[in-house]
Structure 1
Amino acid sequence: MPHPASELTDLLTADLVVDLAAPVAPAISPDGRLVAYGVVANSGRGGHPDSSLWVAAADGSAAPRSLTDGTAHDGAPKWAPDPAWLFFTSDRQERGSAQLHRILLDGGADLAEPEPLTSWRGGIGDHHPLADGRTVALLAEDESTAEDERRQAEGDDAKVWGRHLPVTRLRLLDLETGVIRTVAGLGDRHVVEVSQRPDGGPLAVLSWSTAELDPGVLTAQLHLVTPATGAVHDLGPVGVEARSPVWWHHDGAWHLAHLAVTPGHLVGGLAVIDTVPPASGPAVEQRNLTAGMSICPTELAQVADGPPLALFADGLDTALYRLDPQSLRFHRLSRPPGTMAGLTVSHEGGTLAVLASTADEFRNVHAGPTGGPLLRLSDTSPELRGIRRGVQERLGYQAPDGLPMDGLLILPVGRARSEGPFPLVTLIHGGPYSRHADEFALTVVDCGQWLATAGYAVFLANPRGGSGHGHEFAAVAAGAVGGDEWTDVLAGIDLLVAEGVADPRRLAVSGWSHGGFMAAWAVGRTDRFKAAVMGAGISDWGSQAGVGDWGIMDAELGGGTGWDGPGPHLHDLRSPISYASRIRTPVLILHGEEDTNVPLGQAVQFHRALRHFGVEHEFVVYPREGHGLHERAHQLDALRRIRAWFDRWL
């Protein structure tokens, strides 16, 4: 239980935010007795996070204990069929090169030393212990050859586009001999996920035509692979952004389900797609098991031979559902407040574990019976319990067209609504297919409590285009970014002004990724905001479609590409750069130098436009960073710089 507000004395600091130890990747043992998980913290070498592995009794009968010491990057825990063994990846031998390890959990006080199982040059990307107990499926790139090493040493490293990214292949490790064999029947397709049929049968393998996101996510296919022989049976194409293949059994037939964007759309809500693999040839029928649902599936979990479990984003919360094999519809088992993620289920499906968070409780590992109450197992950041926090409220309101909307309000620390109006910072989430859920979020991007500590009220907006309200709600963003989603945000701000919470003379807007686009879009539409922060945001949808990782998906959002003809282009109407001459709001631009999702050029172009029109702004580039910030010093800088920017202008 959270402490009463009167007992909380400490204020949140930037160091505390970036140094939080967070649990990741829970994995419940097949018998449901133990839960392994990782803990990531900014205690690593060179300012980079490292992670340790922990294990806890699922019923809470024994305190969690550490399996590794956190001096390397240990992750991806997965159980052998015999729960005495836990497999994981670690770069303890060579920094940045993950190799497969296993550790024996015999129940004693002294832990065995982790046993390295591979020394694959280039490292192991993922692994999946198979039901026979003798084999582990590995996802790994090709090892470098002597010729590769010679070329690298001599700088003879020209990249041929389309072949410049290494392909990940499916390989099978024999634990007894240590021999690794590659499944050749998949050709040069890039393997992204593997799931074995629970009876020890074939592997469901999800692949792309290339390691590039565009067109990789558009060219996904499913295959069946027989582990003993390596024989491959192609099931054919599956949906856009396909992921999470799971098996289930009903009426003598094995089904194979996966998540993908709702069929017929490039942008929209995720759906659960199901098929019955034929004995030969491609899959004939693929059924949408979530058609018409007003919530969005986020995860699927395989349960022995029974129907799968699934997590759904449901407004501000997350719900647990089970598929009814008769009606082929999902039925809700529970809907606790807050969020759940990382769903992992025992072999028979009686016990599960998740990462759960509420408005008052930071994310931790929870476990319990399926559909029953969950017990918190981990406590990775106990220091947060003494921190004074702003009260987080749920908001419900209507968009201008009458559509029901939700969001969150965080009040300044120690203040009540009646003490308003307050300076208000509106935080807009990325994606756009994401959401602000009613959880205790505390990162550089989701820094609501950090701003509340400085006296700001914070509005966490959930406009159209996001998840949690079904496919149609999400699909509105296609070709219309900055349209309804912008008026959705404004309606929430207007509500808070009308209720006396927000001071209309002290409004600011901020966001990262798509939220960064929305912040740049906002200041080109109105001068109501006195300050803005554009983090890794898009300024020009036409160029973004041409150079961003997601390519054609960004074109679908923005409304076109630069090669659609001489114009005028729809994407120009949706691009903040087109309205730079209108901007009067001071803007802080933050961007990672090595971002390929939203390339740095998007920020450079916006910076030059603001400079051209004499707009007060600051442009900050973080070396070595991609689409997010990972180095400790950079995270600290961003937190302090963002708050200083609002302090200066509000």
Structure 2
Amino acid sequence: MPPHPAPAPQPTPEPTDPLTAELVVDVAAAVTPAISPDGRLVAHGVVANGGKGGRPHGSIWVTAADGSTAPHRLTDGTARDLAPKWAPDSASLFFTSDREEQGTAQLQRIRLDGGEDIAEAEALTSWRGGICDHLPLFDGRTVALLAEDEPTAEDERREAECDDAKVWGRHLPPTRLRLLDLETGVLRTVDGLGDRHVVGLVQRPDGGPLAVLSWSTPELDPGVMTAELHVVDPHSASVHDLGPVGIEAQSPAWWHHDGVWHLAHLAVTPEHLVGGLAVIDTVPPASGPAVGHRDLTAGMSVSPSELVQVADGPPLALFADGLDTALYRLHPESLRFHQVSAAPGMLAGLTASRGGETVALLASTAYEPKNVHAGPTGGPLVRLSDTMPELRRIRWGVQERLHYQASDGVQLDGLLILPAGRSRDNGPFPLVTLVHGGPYYRYADEFALNAIDCGQWLATAGYAVFLPNPRGGSGHGHEFAAVVAGAVGGDEWTDILSGIDLLVAQGVADPERLGISGWSHGGFIAAWAAARTDRFKAAMMGAGISDWGMQAGTGDWGLLDAALGGSTGWEGPGPHVHDRHSPISYASGIRTPVLILHGEEDTNVPLGQAIHFHRALRHFGVEHELVVYPREGHGLDERAHQLDALRRIRAWYDRWL
């Protein structure tokens, strides 16, 4: 097996600096690596707090892929400079920035001459609708852009006069495919896609057509269930429709074998609304819709998470494998993926040189935050960025891997973080269980520290923290993930209890001092725990679901949430399946104090879920607190809100545990 990325340092044995909420919130994070087509350079973004309005800002950096030079900052970080992508000749770098108008991204370009002197960024667009995404094409003269329509004079009049009634179904503007001529600055729209909402694209490596993914509407429901593939000629702008593809389709990738071009993409395993992602492949015909879509990952016990094309050969893919991540390559003869290398913890953001011989990505292990690494496809990888060196001065809790059995014998995994400076021999400890969202997500053996994934924040305050990977998540194949369909709060819940019982039996967890937290689907589980047992002395429900029927009717994901909850409210007078899976149905029995945190503008899990639960708890006299964050969606972006959440969560457990 090729070597792993450079080993992460172990926890600092003696404390040097205290962990403050400000340090958690203000650390800089490396994002979106992009390796140049010639494999020599790697660009990446760095996101940090402190921008205008307390929101994060971004800067663009570049360094040698072999680590021979230190990272060099190309932009000053006063705006949101993000999404670096290379020109095909590796001589210039494109990125998006809102430096001209806050909140409206435009395409920028920086030319590199191979030396230390870097030219100023030049603005390439002034599109009033803003640029959502971009792809430099292989001809070197064109950049494909995804952008909404510019507002018309009538749109501006209506906004100025508050004549802004929204007709549902037409209230969200679609993102259209547009082609920018770099020489003339002319931007033309590909009209053959009609009003479909474009969500992804990639160009065939020989400079041929674009593969384009689109939805019928920008709305998640039904958008993600109406995905179609198209082949677009970038010269004539002609469109060849390949027809429908899978739910949550993403990451199209061309590949070539025996004179035939294939087109693969990621999507939920066919014929399932809920389940693991799969790599789906087809051969685009010369005309008409594509047929013969094939699942290239059927039966695998690992879960594909990213798919990347290369010029000369089959695609590369990252696979979630339990607590770790592996890099795979498709074998063109067997049409099966074979492992190329593996790494402990989390790999993400895969990008490959044109020929696929060199890769760059983000890697994180137990005590090392995500940083950019690069090297040969088979390894070893060299760390190129070091955005958070100050974190090495903190004494962290020891992070252990857990492997255990569910009550029915299914093999499970997770993580345990011990209180900082303590060992198992010092137990039992107050234990907080942090449940991940999704549910199609996982905890990898990585370093995670933010207002939502706050395990080490609690560990430095004396708590043991359990991070379980119950059924419904990724990393163990499709069947493991599909179990929760129509049965949330079932096997996934008993999987979590089995882990807690193990930690109690081992003397790690004090059974009289148990807490539970989660965000999104994890927030649902936290509410479910309070509703189904009195074992927990405190709970934190972050942006969580209390009523699955309401969620199916009002949340962004609609029918996909109905597939999790088991039914919708419009199926008759009931009782409904979703009522059995909703914490609100059992509110009369809740005795656990509950802290409820929610973004006021959350459309994924609307604020009504929190208010509904709050009113039920108030009715039954349950100790609780509802905190609503203005301007926030499904997560927390503003610095002050992140600080408040960290302090409030810790104070809640200090009070009750």
Taking structure 1 as the reference length, the TM-score comes to: 0.99
In structure 1, what residue type is equivalent to 2:352?
V
Alignment partner, residue 255 of structure 2: 248
Q: How does 1:133-144 map to 2 (within 5 A)?
A: 133-144=140-151
In 2, the alpha carbon distance for the partners of 1:7 and 1:430 equals 33
Question: Contact 1:90–1:98 at 8 Å: present in 2 too?
Answer: yes
Of residues 4-13 and 482-491 in structure 1, the stretch that sits farther from structure 2 once superposed is 4-13
In 2, the alpha carbon distance for the partners of 1:338 and 1:575 equals 33
Cα-to-partner distance string for 1:3-56 (whole Å, 9 max, x where unaligned) = 563254222111000001000000000000000000000021110110000001
In 1, the alpha carbon distance for the partners of 2:252 and 2:49 equals 33
Q: Does 1:21 align with 2:28?
A: yes
Alignment partner, residue 69 of structure 1: 76
Question: Contact 2:329–2:338 at 8 Å: present in 1 too?
Answer: yes
Deviation at 1:305, TM superposition (A): 3.1
Alignment partner, residue 96 of structure 1: 103
Aligned partner of 2:510 among 503, 506, 513: 503
Q: Does 1:38 align with 2:38?
A: no
Q: Does 1:476 align with 2:483?
A: yes
Alignment partner, residue 376 of structure 2: 369
Aligned partner of 2:416 among 406, 409, 416: 409
In 2, the alpha carbon distance for the partners of 1:318 and 1:632 equals 31
In structure 2, what residue type is equivalent to 1:617?
H
In 2, the alpha carbon distance for the partners of 1:93 and 1:214 equals 33
Alignment partner, residue 308 of structure 1: 315
In structure 1, what residue type is equivalent to 2:159?
Q
Alignment partner, residue 638 of structure 1: 645
In structure 1, what residue type is equivalent to 2:436?
H
Question: Contact 2:12–2:392 at 8 Å: present in 1 too?
Answer: no
In structure 1, what residue type is equivalent to 2:534?
D
In 2, the alpha carbon distance for the partners of 1:14 and 1:291 equals 44
Of residues 141-150 and 594-603 in structure 1, the stretch that sits farther from structure 2 once superposed is 141-150
Deviation at 1:109, TM superposition (A): 2.2
Question: Contact 1:289–1:330 at 8 Å: present in 2 too?
Answer: yes
Question: Contact 2:257–2:313 at 8 Å: present in 1 too?
Answer: yes
Question: Contact 1:168–1:190 at 8 Å: present in 2 too?
Answer: yes
Alignment partner, residue 5 of structure 2: none
**Unpaired stretches in structure 1, ≥5 consecutive residues:** none
**Unpaired stretches in structure 2, ≥5 consecutive residues:** 1-7
Alignment partner, residue 625 of structure 2: 618
Deviation at 1:142, TM superposition (A): 0.5
3-state SS, counterpart of residue 477 of structure 1: coil
Aligned partner of 1:269 among 260, 271, 276: 276
Q: How does 1:343-422 map to 2 (within 5 A)?
A: 343-422=350-429
Aligned partner of 2:123 among 75, 99, 116: 116
Cα-to-partner distance string for 1:140-190 (whole Å, 9 max, x where unaligned) = 000111111111101110000000000100000000000000000000000
In 1, the alpha carbon distance for the partners of 2:116 and 2:301 equals 49
In 1, the alpha carbon distance for the partners of 2:312 and 2:230 equals 20
Cα-to-partner distance string for 1:389-419 (whole Å, 9 max, x where unaligned) = 0000000110000000000000000000011
Aligned partner of 1:466 among 458, 468, 473: 473
In 2, the alpha carbon distance for the partners of 1:392 and 1:169 equals 45
Q: Does 1:427 align with 2:434?
A: yes
In structure 1, what residue type is equivalent to 2:306?
E
Aligned partner of 2:539 among 532, 535, 541: 532
In structure 2, what residue type is equivalent to 1:565?
G
In 2, the alpha carbon distance for the partners of 1:504 and 1:534 equals 21
In 2, the alpha carbon distance for the partners of 1:402 and 1:9 equals 44
Q: Does 1:131 align with 2:138?
A: yes
Question: Contact 1:3–1:386 at 8 Å: present in 2 too?
Answer: no
Question: Contact 2:11–2:396 at 8 Å: present in 1 too?
Answer: no
In 2, the alpha carbon distance for the partners of 1:108 and 1:363 equals 28
In 2, the alpha carbon distance for the partners of 1:8 and 1:166 equals 52
Cα-to-partner distance string for 1:197-219 (whole Å, 9 max, x where unaligned) = 00000000000000000000000
Percent sequence identity over aligned pairs: 80
Of residues 5-14 and 579-588 in structure 1, the stretch that sits farther from structure 2 once superposed is 5-14
Cα-to-partner distance string for 1:607-646 (whole Å, 9 max, x where unaligned) = 0000000000000000000000000000000000000000
Cα-to-partner distance string for 1:41-78 (whole Å, 9 max, x where unaligned) = 00211101100000010001110000000000001100
Alignment partner, residue 238 of structure 1: 245
Alignment partner, residue 447 of structure 1: 454
In structure 2, what residue type is equivalent to 1:578?
S
Question: Contact 1:58–1:368 at 8 Å: present in 2 too?
Answer: yes
Q: How does 1:154-193 map to 2 (within 5 A)?
A: 154-193=161-200
1:46–1:152 distance in 2 versus 1, CA, 3 Å: same
1:259–1:404 distance in 2 versus 1, CA, 3 Å: same
In 1, the alpha carbon distance for the partners of 2:282 and 2:143 equals 26
3-state SS, counterpart of residue 373 of structure 2: strand
Deviation at 1:108, TM superposition (A): 2.6
Dislocated runs of 4+, deviation >2 Å:
3-8, 107-110
In 1, the alpha carbon distance for the partners of 2:405 and 2:230 equals 45
Aligned partner of 2:558 among 536, 551, 558: 551
Alignment partner, residue 593 of structure 2: 586
In 1, the alpha carbon distance for the partners of 2:336 and 2:446 equals 28
In 2, the alpha carbon distance for the partners of 1:221 and 1:137 equals 19
3-state SS, counterpart of residue 162 of structure 1: coil
3-state SS, counterpart of residue 267 of structure 2: strand
In structure 2, what residue type is equivalent to 1:62?
T
Deviation at 1:445, TM superposition (A): 1.0
3-state SS, counterpart of residue 309 of structure 2: strand
3-state SS, counterpart of residue 369 of structure 2: coil
Alignment partner, residue 12 of structure 1: 19
Taking structure 2 as the reference length, the TM-score comes to: 0.98
In structure 2, what residue type is equivalent to 1:213?
L
In 1, the alpha carbon distance for the partners of 2:83 and 2:197 equals 20
Question: Contact 1:513–1:535 at 8 Å: present in 2 too?
Answer: yes
Alignment partner, residue 258 of structure 1: 265
Deviation at 1:335, TM superposition (A): 1.1
In 1, the alpha carbon distance for the partners of 2:97 and 2:28 equals 18
Alignment partner, residue 4 of structure 2: none
In 2, the alpha carbon distance for the partners of 1:520 and 1:320 equals 37
In 2, the alpha carbon distance for the partners of 1:5 and 1:69 equals 32
In 2, the alpha carbon distance for the partners of 1:281 and 1:294 equals 35
Question: Contact 1:3–1:385 at 8 Å: present in 2 too?
Answer: no
Question: Contact 2:11–2:367 at 8 Å: present in 1 too?
Answer: no
Alignment partner, residue 213 of structure 1: 220
Q: Does 1:601 align with 2:601?
A: no
3-state SS, counterpart of residue 500 of structure 2: helix
Question: Contact 2:369–2:447 at 8 Å: present in 1 too?
Answer: yes
Deviation at 1:371, TM superposition (A): 1.3
